[in-house]
Homo-oligomer: A and B are copies of this chain.
């Protein structure tokens, strides 16, 4: 598997863990250090512990939305990679920046920042998307 494919696979793992509410998979996915997360509208959370606590709270909520990752696009910078994608949650759209770092040969999420984007379905490119649910 090439680096770009491996990074997009790691990005898919994030959305699969999100949709499956799988906190263990989320814990395995996040990097060991240098972790930051910005949930939509939230102030930044710094550090693995604080970030994973937030995911435990979100994934544990009743009625946590299913999320689809659309049109992911990976940019490689050596052992760091940036994925930008559109997240679809209950018909609303967000734009996410996901940064992955290579740790022991595997890509782990170091940074997630999602925020609202003004668009609807017709704005999405027609190329095949990578839906995870």
Chain A interface (Cβ < 8 Å from any Cβ of B) = 34, 36, 38, 40-44, 46, 73, 75-80, 82, 84, 86, 95, 97, 99, 101, 110-111, 113-119, 123
- A34: chain B residues at CB < 8 Å are 75-77, 82
Which residues in B have their C-beta under 8 angstroms from that of A36? Answer: 73, 75, 82, 84
- Give the dominant DSSP class at A's interface: strand
Partner of A84, one of B38, B84, B115: B38
Residues of B close to A99: CB separation below 8 A: 82, 97, 99
Q: Are A116 and B117 in contact (CB under 8 A)?
A: no
Pick the contact of A95 from B38, B46, B86 — CB < 8 Å? B38
Closest chain B residue to A44, Cβ basis: B84
Pairs across A and B, CB under 8 Å, 8 listed: A34-B82, A41-B115, A43-B95, A44-B73, A77-B110, A78-B78, A82-B111, A116-B116
Measured between beta carbons, the chain B residues less than 8 angstroms from A43 are: 86, 95, 117-119, 123
CB distance from A104 to the nearest CB of B (A): 14
